[in-house]
Amino acid sequence: MQLVIGFLLAILISVLSYRVGALSKSGALAAILTGGLIFGLGGIPWAALLLTFFISSSLLSRLFKRKKASLGDKFAKGSQRDYGQVFANGGLGALFVMAFYFLPSGSWFWIAYIGCMAAVNADTWATELGVLSSKPPRLITNGKSVDRGTSGGVTLVGYFAIFGGAFLVGLIAAIFTQGIAAYLIFLFAICAGLVGSSFDSLLGAKWQAIYYCPQCQKETESHPLHRCGSPTHKIRGWNWLNNDLVNFLCSLAGAGTAIGLWFLLGH
Ligand SMILES: [Zn+2]
């Protein structure tokens, strides 16, 4: 019964998001699958974290749309999220909820999920709010100033956003946790957000496939075509390491951080 309600809720949210242009058609289908599994198998605590991420990131991307439009070229995709982006952010969570459902004794799947959602929420907040920085970003690897929107660039505003995004996920997760573990989970979420997002920036600076559009004379994550329509050519990184995979690895790093801390404390 919970699974049916879960999928109905996921269909409702995905169709609404498609209607308002927050998800593409493939993105809506992917969101029904991942959202249905997380709502249906995990119940209210798992659903609460997914909704925290989905609602807060959608609101932020709408709020600063105009501000970002001027530097939109640097981002691989528009604000309409496709299936790659949905699976990159929610795929790992869907795997954890299935493991949790079939192996209910493993409470660490819940911890892993919190770390994963803290990382994707923190990273999304940083992307959305980092553009508000009055100072240009600095590359995470060597601290050199780079153009706004450059992969691997970090700002102080971005790190405040990372903290805020992880803080919110940790707070919601703590509400659903009893006793002293609630405080631990809150701390795990903040660490997971910081580690996951920094890992994302590191991959962006060093190994992610980055392209150049000769028409716009801009660095971009788009390939083979830029949004202006002209072909882009690679300037650095590994071909297979695209933006979606980087986001997925960010969520994996967040989950790993939370589980690592959980086991370090003797659980
Ligand atoms: Zn272009």
pLDDT for 127-158, tens place per residue? 889 888 889 999 999 999 998 878 899 999 99
For residue 125, report the distance from its CA to the centre of ligand 1, in Å. 26
Return the H-helix or E-strand segment holding 90.
Answer: helix 83-102
Q: What percent of the chain has pLDDT over 70?
A: 95
For residue 131, report the distance from its CA to the centre of ligand 1, in Å. 20
For residue 197, report the distance from its CA to the centre of ligand 1, in Å. 27
Classify the C-alpha dihedral 34-36-41-46 as positive or negative. Answer: positive
**Mean pLDDT in the chain?**
90
pTM greater than 0.85 (yes/no) = yes
Q: What's the rounded Cα separation, in Å, for the pair 152 and 146?
A: 9
Structure-block tokens of residue 74:
């640097």
Comparing 214 with 227, which gets the higher pLDDT?
Answer: 214
pLDDT bucket at 116, cuts 50 / 70 / 90: very high
Structure-block tokens of residue 85:
């982006």
| Amino acid identity at 4 | V
